[in-house]
Chains A and B, each alone.
Chain A
Amino acid sequence: MKFGVVVIPGCYCDHDCYYAIEKVTGKPVEFIWHEQTSVDGFDAIILPGGFAHGDYLRTGALAKFSPVMKAIRAFANMGGLVFGICNGFQILTEAGFLPGALMRNVGMKYVCKYLHLRTENAETPFTNTLSQGQLLYIPIGHGDGNYYADDETLMRIEGNGQVVFRYVDAQGQATPEANPNGSLNNIAGIVNEQGNVLGMMPHPDRSFEAILGSADGKLIFESMVNALVTK
């Protein structure tokens, strides 16, 4: 199996993702330049964090015009695993892979800190090594992580298990105080209906080995390997 990490001008977490995947999974991983028109040979594609195209116009707005996105869309339609982290999540919503949108943090400040996530759906290719309700300790670093979707969309994604991670306190409660950015329902990460595309604002690529402060992030990458092995 082969992992791909997309390289878009302005994104800087590509090397973190590459290193995380290499260290955690030991599987082959390659960079994918955003002007490539083919993603043949890859089984999982990561859209890393950063500021793609300088966040011009809106965060993640212009990346959908990068030539590689057409191939990634076809890849996702065929069931390939696509994982957007932070800016990658913003790109996935702007490009229509995932519902809703990420807006400016409600406090109008960039927030950078460790926090707790609760696993709401442990049956996705990204969470199959986790248990329902399991807490993860993962850092965030973003100014535009405020997840919004209209009422009908919100009800739908809550109802059919598309909400994968929620911001919670250390006791696992999704309180307003545990919400760093104003996201509706404390939503931190969601999948598409098919379940093969995940977007999350927190950074497992910054929390995959203990020396970083938490190794909980590695569980997500390990789940992906698990899913690909059993495919």
Chain B
Amino acid sequence: MGLTDVTDVRQGKIFHLQLKDGKKEQVETLAKEVLTNPVIEEYRIIWE
């Protein structure tokens, strides 16, 4: 297609979490202990 400007690509999973009353503490735990396997995955939390 002639679109040659991309130098790298990654594919992953996105989990959209809806939080009660803006409670953020549990998100880190969820990310680390349920949503990812730290042996083979990393995570990033993006707050919206």
Binary contact track B28-44/A, C-beta < 8 Å → 1, others 0: 00000011010110000
Does A1 sit at the interface, judged by CB under 8 A? Answer: no
Count of chain B residues near A, Cβ 8 A: 5
Count of chain A residues near B, Cβ 8 A: 12
Contact A103 B40 (CB under 8 A): yes
Q: Secondary structure at chain B's binding surface: helix, strand, loop or mixed?
A: loop
Contacts of A99 in B (CB 8 A): 39
Contacts of A148 in B (CB 8 A): 39-40
Q: How far is the CA of A202 from the CA of B40 in the complex (A)?
A: 22
A100 to chain B, nearest CB (A): 6
Q: Secondary structure at chain A's binding surface: helix, strand, loop or mixed?
A: loop
Contact B39 A149 (CB under 8 A): yes
- Among residues of A, the one whose C-beta sits closest to the C-beta of B39 is A101
Contacts of B40 in A (CB 8 A): 101, 103, 148
Contact B39 A57 (CB under 8 A): no
Contacts of A93 in B (CB 8 A): 39
B43 to chain A, nearest CB (A): 13
Question: A57-B35, A100-B39 given. 13 additional CB < 8 A pairs?
Answer: A57-B34, A58-B37, A61-B34, A93-B39, A94-B37, A99-B39, A101-B37, A101-B39, A101-B40, A148-B39, A148-B40, A149-B39, A150-B39
